Amino acid sequence: MSPNSNDDQNVSETEVAAGGAAQAIATFRLPHYGMLWSSNLIQFICFHVLFLAMQWLVTSLTDLRIAVGFLAFVQGGTIALASPFAGVIVDRHPKRNLMIFGRLGVAVVAISMGLLAYGGVIEYWHLLVMAIVGGTLAALLGPAAQTYVVDVVGRNRTDHAISLNAIGGSVGTIGGAALAGLLIKELGVVSTYFAAAAGVVLAGLLLLTIPIPGHAERKERTSLRSDLVEGLAYVRARPHLLLALAACAMALFNGAISPMRVIYARHVFGAGADAFGMMSVFHGGGTMLAALFLTLRPPSRNFGVLITGTMLLYALGVLMYSFAFSFEYILAVEFWLGISGQAWHICALIGFQLAVPEEMRGRVLSMVFTLAQLGFVGGFVVGGLADQLGDQVAVGIFGAIPTILLSCMLVFGWKTLRKM
């Protein structure tokens, strides 16, 4: 168990009787969780600003759709390759320190980007290098941040803590999107990078106020390879985990929306940075609604079915995105994608963490993050496809394939998925 771990942070009978809202409030009031939540919120905002600023910068350097997709492919591919090793590191070392290191590293990347843009010497290959460095840091931050939540609040409050964290992520998406659009429009990309870097540093320093290292004691030190093999063997021996992970792998197709969002804004609708930001705001609104609902009524069973079902809903949203009747229609679809994507995110984080023992959490979650990054691979492919067939046709193909596959998983794998 972690140093503070309280399954110890037990849910009282009074809280249970009062319902989800009372339990969520009690979780937020736990020692140190409020500070952790605030620190994560700042990170969410700044990371989203950096993400949108980089996409906007790419479209300023080139009109090729595939350039946006390839950048996402490089970053996502880096995260996917680094995540299994990052999971082992997370299971071995204090998670708080890893989070601080990762955040300060991202700040260095952001400052470097700002300086290159300020000097007027930035080129596309610079973005690729930064994507590799940033992807490596993100691979470490993902499982460290999510498993650290459990160390701070205890397993009995994992569902509400993760849902509350998701609310922070939604606020960060909305706030980051709005802030990115405003900063890019009014101050330019350079100031946007510097401002985001300052925020990321603050998010890292706030963690120093939390006295919980988040380090599970291990009885013996083993090799990196043996730890990786152990984690894979654990999952392979459990068909319900394997099938749920297969559903997560559909991010290969569903992730196509991420790089295509800026393409739709600039080229399909001929809109500016403020409209691009508005698309992310509506997406963030959907994530907020889903997070609030699941905070009040967190899932407690059938996680395999929920993970697969919510991923299917997202795939349907990608398919709907291809029609693009109007900008208002796309905003409505963004809202749908926000709801379904956030529901999948919360169900996956809660389900996989509760389904495995503590010493496996980092490695199993790193598998989820690895599969989630396949969306960036899909983003690269859909960018090239869009250059050949058109934006809407490419997105439609990437929506139809996972819709069919996930439907089959639910129909034929229902009994297996229900075991998770």
Per-residue buried b or exposed e for 268-280, using 16+ beta carbons within 10 Å of the residue's own CB: beebebebbbbbb
How far apart are the C-alpha atoms of 392 and 321, rounded to whole Å?
A: 8
Note the pLDDT of residue 20: 63
- What is the arithmetic mean of pLDDT over 117-143? 88
Instruction: Convert the pLDDT of each residue in 41-52 to its tens digit.
Output: 999 899 888 888
How far apart are the C-alpha atoms of 360 and 352, rounded to whole Å?
A: 10
How far apart are the C-alpha atoms of 90 and 99, rounded to whole Å?
A: 10
Going from N- to C-terminal start, the domains of the chain cover 19-214+230-417
Note the pLDDT of residue 7: 46
- What is the arithmetic mean of pLDDT over 389-418? 90
Note the pLDDT of residue 359: 76
* Structure token pair of residue 309: 């079902």
Predicted confidence (pLDDT) at residue 217 exceeds the cutoff of 60: no
Note the pLDDT of residue 14: 47
How far apart are the C-alpha atoms of 69 and 398, rounded to whole Å?
A: 14
Tell me which residue of 83, 57, 58 sits closest to 70, measured CA to CA: 58
Predicted confidence (pLDDT) at residue 155 exceeds the cutoff of 50: yes
Note the pLDDT of residue 10: 54
Predicted confidence (pLDDT) at residue 205 exceeds the cutoff of 90: yes
Helices vs. strands in the chain: H and E counts, helices first: 19, 0
Lowest mean pLDDT among 79-83, 120-124, 271-275, 407-411: 271-275
The stretches of 297-390 forming alpha helices (DSSP H) are: 303-321, 327-355, 361-372, 374-389
Predicted confidence (pLDDT) at residue 220 exceeds the cutoff of 70: no
Instruction: Convert the pLDDT of each residue in 340-388 to its tens digit.
Output: 998 998 899 888 888 888 778 778 888 888 888 777 777 677 777 887 8
Between 322 and 3, the more confident residue is: 322
Residue 213 phi/psi, 5-degree rounding, is -70, -30
Lowest mean pLDDT among 104-108, 113-117, 120-124, 353-357: 353-357
How far apart are the C-alpha atoms of 290 and 287, rounded to whole Å?
A: 5
Contact 162, 385 (CB under 8 A): no
Give the confidence band of 409 by pLDDT, cuts at 50, 70, 90.
Answer: very high
How far apart are the C-alpha atoms of 398 and 401, rounded to whole Å?
A: 6
Give the confidence band of 307 by pLDDT, cuts at 50, 70, 90.
Answer: very high
- What is the arithmetic mean of pLDDT over 170-199? 86
Q: Which fold has domain 19-214+230-417?
A: Growth Hormone; Chain: A; (1.20.1250)
Contact 80, 380 (CB under 8 A): no
* Structure token pair of residue 25: 């409030």
Across the chain, mean pLDDT equals 83
- What is the arithmetic mean of pLDDT over 147-164? 82
The DSSP symbol for 128 reads H
Instruction: Convert the pLDDT of each residue in 281-291 to its tens digit.
Output: 888 788 889 98
Note the pLDDT of residue 193: 92
Predicted confidence (pLDDT) at residue 327 exceeds the cutoff of 90: no
Give the confidence band of 65 by pLDDT, cuts at 50, 70, 90.
Answer: low
Between 303 and 13, the more confident residue is: 303
Instruction: Convert the pLDDT of each residue in 88-99 to its tens digit.
Output: 888 788 889 999
Predicted confidence (pLDDT) at residue 163 exceeds the cutoff of 50: yes
Phi/psi-derived region of residue 172, left when phi > 0, alpha when psi is between -120 and 50, beta in every other case: alpha
* Structure token pair of residue 41: 């919120």
How far apart are the C-alpha atoms of 144 and 162, rounded to whole Å?
A: 13
What does 253-276 look like in DSSP terms, one character per residue? HHTTHHHHHHHIIIIIS---HHHH
- What is the arithmetic mean of pLDDT over 394-402? 90
Residue positions counted in the chain: 420
CA dihedral over 287, 290, 296, 298, signed as positive or negative: negative
Contact 12, 25 (CB under 8 A): no
Q: Give the CA dihedral 81, 85, 90, 93, nearest 10 degrees.
A: -140
Kind and range of the H or E run holding 298:
none
Contact 231, 370 (CB under 8 A): no
Predicted confidence (pLDDT) at residue 216 exceeds the cutoff of 60: no
Note the pLDDT of residue 222: 67
